[in-house]
Chain A
Amino acid sequence: MALNKNILLFNNTIYGKLALVLGIICIAIYMSSDNPANGGTWQGYTLGILGTVIIVWLTLLGIRKRSYRSSLGTVQGWTSAHVYLGLVLLLIGTLHCGYQFGWNIHTLAYVLMVIVIISGMYGLWLYLMLPNSMERNRKNLSRENMLRQFDHFNQEAVIIAADLPADIQNAVGSAIKYTTLGGSAYAQIRAKDSSRVSLDASQPLKLVDNRDQQALLSYVAHELPKPKHSTEQHEKLQALLDILSQRKTLLNSLRLDMNRQTLLHIWLVIHIPFSIALLGVLTAHIISVFFYW
């Protein structure tokens, strides 16, 4: 069983069942109040304490997963419980506030909690959906391997083009220089191919669209049958086209891999800072309700 499946099915979904029972108990506690059930009733205090304990425990996953020497449960177990308790927390938090919302720090804490939980759900979904397609795309290569391979293709293409007319040399060189790949996290997610190429060496630099390396490949392919090239040059052109095609395929794989892997990381940029912010606002929430009891 794949690791990513383990998170949900860990130990026969024991934490899923526990969370379900916990949710039912919390609904029963909420239903036991005839009055506007908010945090100020004994039901509210009970659900509030429970919710706080769960929130603090959920944030501890960040510490537990770094504590390689800890024997306090496995990280898979913790993550599985993290997912299910995080889901049931949405219910507990909502019942705790009794659907009472306003422009105040209490609702702010609730909103932060919802952001954290929803980003967590998104992260979970990514973990369940992406790794398999990423495996297939990478074909057993590491990202670094793929990038080194890409660099190698670039150099090969330049060296081969060196023995070809200046126009082709110029096309290959500029296509390599103006190929876009990766960059910031945002650019990796966006994965926009804004590659360009110069196809005329005699003119001042004039770049045209080279999305998916289409312009370059089609330029070289059109050069191939031209009779002005010598036999040797034909062979070089053929080799160049071969390299450029492989380079294009690799480029697509890289773009997909960067997009997927960045997605796998980027949700944490929401999930973690907002959960830390939640701890702060939650502290303010607890202090304030007792400050003005």
Chain B
Amino acid sequence: MKLVLEVSTGEETTVREWDGKVLRLGRSPESDVQLFGPGVAEHHVRLLEDGDGLRLECPMNTSVRLNDEPVRKAKLEIGNSFYIDSHKIMIRPSDEQGAVANVRVLQYDDVTKIPTAATSENIAVRSAKSSKRKWSYGLLALGLLLSLAFPLMSTFDAETKLVFEEYGLPTDTIWSSGDLASAHNIPGIANECKVCHQSPFVSVRDSDCLTCHQELPAHGNNDIHKQVGESQRQCLSCHKEHNEPSTLVHTDNAFCTDCHADTLNWDDNKKTLPPVLGFSAAEHPEFKLQYLTPHSTADTIDWQNIAHSTTAKTPEMSNLKFPHDLHLGGDKVQRSDGQAMECSDCHSLDKNGEHFEPITMDTTCRSCHALEFDIQAKGRELHHGEPELVLQQLTEYFALQYTDPALRAEREQDGRRMPSIASLSAMDRDTCKEDAIDCARQAALLEAETQFERTGCAVCHVIIKDESKPLHQRWHVEPIQLQDNWYNTRFDHTVHMVGDQKTETGMCLTCHQADNSAQSSDVLIPDLGKCVTCHTDARVAATKKQVSSSCIDCHSFHIPGKPKMLDAYLGRIHD
């Protein structure tokens, strides 16, 4: 018997040819078509050939439903169908050559076994809740472990930290909130938090800083803040580490004006500091200029560096006669190349750009103001700086002139040829008929008078003549007292050489009005009013379109020359 078997599970259908005597259907694995379900017996039904058609037999106590009737044996014709439990078996005509029939087995039961799409996952994202909780605990634990537990353990001792570093575990260095300033970013400090942070939950103390910074000068002669009754300031008040970008010094004015907003008085040295609130005409006291000021005592003059108000315009007493206006402009004084003089011809900045190289006769004045005294001896100059030797030098010079007959004859001849030379005394000495030594002494005295009182020295120097004194001490040249440092603050000339002036001298004159100064007693240092035309507080700098300036741009906290910080900290220094 040849059959075509179509077995459909609902999900897939197989079609195969079957050849045999008995087609067995049932739960048994030996069945030709294996069926499942509670109502299916092991050997449920057999199909056998019966003439043109088929015959069904239920071997045991089983039955099938044919036309809704339970039957155990029946003849089947093409087109018949019966059920075993929920399975439908159809006998259909076959297209295949020689096949008796097409037996189609529909495992109807499996329709309900089609996997349902209504799974709990598909109905709602229930899994999200548990995963949220799982992830929450997981990340919390990971976060605490990496950011707190491991770093905390690494602080216990240096060995633990080394082990942690070796295994790449986080140590307390991941607590660092920013890079250290380059000076501190060195081995031994950079990765060793405890070098500065010596006690947990206590901020860095001054003693921790002073372990290294012992030599730094303090702000005052003592713990100045204690003196004025303020709570003690710490290094930390101004110096904050772990900033990005790394900046070690706070520029906030508040750190100064916390104390300096009020007038500060020091009873012990009678010193008073006016209040400062910021940098503007209203907030900053007028500048005090310090310059050498003479104080006459019983037998001498004492020069002291005294601070003067800029508004009082106290004249400077330098003993130098120097009209700036005459030297500038080019009308009366020119350089050797015929051009007007520039400020820098005399004033050259020193290497820090704040002060100028000292003005001296040799470096600054002599190229124009040579100390020649005899027109017949070009290039021969008097000694500078030694007034008591001038008379001696002149006597020696003229002694030779009068002793040597050739020189004397030449001098007489020149005197007649050029009757209008320098001075009357020169004419007299050229025609002197006396002894050589007398003539020499006479000529030297005459020349000394000329130099000290009229032309040479007297052009620049203040000279006091005392007739009662011996000849060589008769003229006293007052010492020049030039000021080299007017302010105890920082100032950089180089960065101030800006503006719309085309020449360097023009830039100098913007602040120093030398072109209007006829007297050397004029103080040409600018005052607060000049500075605040360009500079102001950081707060308002942007709106006023001015340069932002904080206290420490000009003032240092650590004042050179003051006692060391360590001493101030320990309170060992007393005024």
Q: Do chains A and B interact in one complex? A: yes
> Could you tell me if A284 and B139 are in contact, using CB atoms closer than 8 angstroms?
no
> Could you tell me if B201 and A261 are in contact, using CB atoms closer than 8 angstroms?
no
Instruction: Give the CA-CA distance A292 to B250 in the complex, in Å.
Output: 20
> Could you tell me if A261 and B254 are in contact, using CB atoms closer than 8 angstroms?
no
> Could you tell me if A291 and B8 are in contact, using CB atoms closer than 8 angstroms?
no
> Could you tell me if B240 and A273 are in contact, using CB atoms closer than 8 angstroms?
no
Q: What is the CB-to-nearest-CB distance from A243 to chain B, in angstroms, rounded to a whole number?
A: 13
Q: Is residue B108 contacting chain A, with contact meaning CB distance below 8 A? A: yes
- What residues on B are CB-neighbors of A290 within 8 Å? 201
A101 to chain B: closest residue by CB: B244
> Could you tell me if B118 and A102 are in contact, using CB atoms closer than 8 angstroms?
no
> Could you tell me if A276 and B178 are in contact, using CB atoms closer than 8 angstroms?
no
- What residues on B are CB-neighbors of A170 within 8 Å? 8, 12-13
> Could you tell me if B124 and A261 are in contact, using CB atoms closer than 8 angstroms?
yes
Q: CB within 8 Å of B: which of A272-293?
A: 272-274, 276-281, 283-285, 287-293
Q: Which of B140, B147, B172, B204 has the most CB of A within 10 A?
A: B147
Q: CB within 8 Å of A: which of B106-136?
A: 106, 108, 111-112, 114-119, 121-125, 127-128, 131-132, 135-136
> Could you tell me if A36 and B177 are in contact, using CB atoms closer than 8 angstroms?
no
> Could you tell me if B201 and A147 are in contact, using CB atoms closer than 8 angstroms?
no
Taking Cβ atoms with an 8 Å cutoff, the residues of B that contact A are: 6, 8-15, 88, 104, 106, 108, 111-112, 114-119, 121-125, 127-128, 131-132, 135-144, 146-148, 151-152, 155, 172, 174-179, 193, 197, 200-204, 240, 242-244, 247, 250-254, 538-539, 550
**Which range holds the interface residue count of chain A?**
35 or more
> Could you tell me if A36 and B136 are in contact, using CB atoms closer than 8 angstroms?
no
> Could you tell me if A280 and B88 are in contact, using CB atoms closer than 8 angstroms?
no
> Could you tell me if A291 and B118 are in contact, using CB atoms closer than 8 angstroms?
no
- What residues on A are CB-neighbors of B128 within 8 Å? 185, 262, 265-266, 268-269
> Could you tell me if A143 and B244 are in contact, using CB atoms closer than 8 angstroms?
no
Interface of chain B, main secondary structure: mixed
Q: What is the CB-to-nearest-CB distance from A41 to chain B, in angstroms, rounded to a whole number?
A: 8
> Could you tell me if A288 and B151 are in contact, using CB atoms closer than 8 angstroms?
yes
Q: Which of B10, B124, B146 has the most CB of A within 10 A?
A: B10
Which residue of A104, A185, A279, A292 contacts B197 across the interface (Cβ within 8 Å)? A292
> Could you tell me if B12 and A198 are in contact, using CB atoms closer than 8 angstroms?
yes
Q: What is the CB-to-nearest-CB distance from B272 to chain A, in angstroms, rounded to a whole number?
A: 28
Q: What is the CB-to-nearest-CB distance from B283 to chain A, in angstroms, rounded to a whole number?
A: 15
A–B pairs, 22, beta carbons within 8 Å: A35-B240, A104-B178, A105-B146, A108-B143, A155-B111, A155-B114, A158-B114, A162-B106, A173-B8, A177-B11, A188-B121, A198-B12, A201-B12, A262-B128, A266-B125, A274-B139, A280-B147, A287-B148, A288-B175, A291-B175, A291-B200, A292-B197
Q: CB within 8 Å of B: which of A54-80?
A: none
> Could you tell me if B12 and A205 are in contact, using CB atoms closer than 8 angstroms?
yes
Which residue of B139, B178, B179, B252 contacts A34 across the interface (Cβ within 8 Å)? B252
- What residues on A are CB-neighbors of B88 within 8 Å? 162
> Could you tell me if A176 and B114 are in contact, using CB atoms closer than 8 angstroms?
yes
Which residue of B118, B172, B175 contacts A151 across the interface (Cβ within 8 Å)? B118
Which residue of A162, A166, A176, A281 contacts B11 across the interface (Cβ within 8 Å)? A176
10 additional contacts (CB under 8 A) given A170-B12, A273-B139, A291-B200:
A162-B8, A166-B13, A169-B8, A173-B10, A188-B121, A258-B122, A273-B136, A285-B147, A288-B175, A292-B200
The 9 tightest CB contacts between A and B, nearest first, are: A277-B139, A147-B118, A273-B135, A182-B122, A284-B148, A284-B147, A280-B143, A293-B203, A288-B175
- What residues on B are CB-neighbors of A174 within 8 Å? 11-12
Indicate whether A102 sits within 8 Å of B148 (C-beta atoms), given known contacts A151-B114, A151-B116. Answer: no
Instruction: Give the CA-CA distance A182 to B253 in the complex, in Å.
Output: 65
> Could you tell me if B10 and A143 are in contact, using CB atoms closer than 8 angstroms?
no
- What residues on B are CB-neighbors of A169 within 8 Å? 8, 13
B173 to chain A: closest residue by CB: A104
Q: Which of B119, B121, B201 has the most CB of A within 10 A?
A: B121
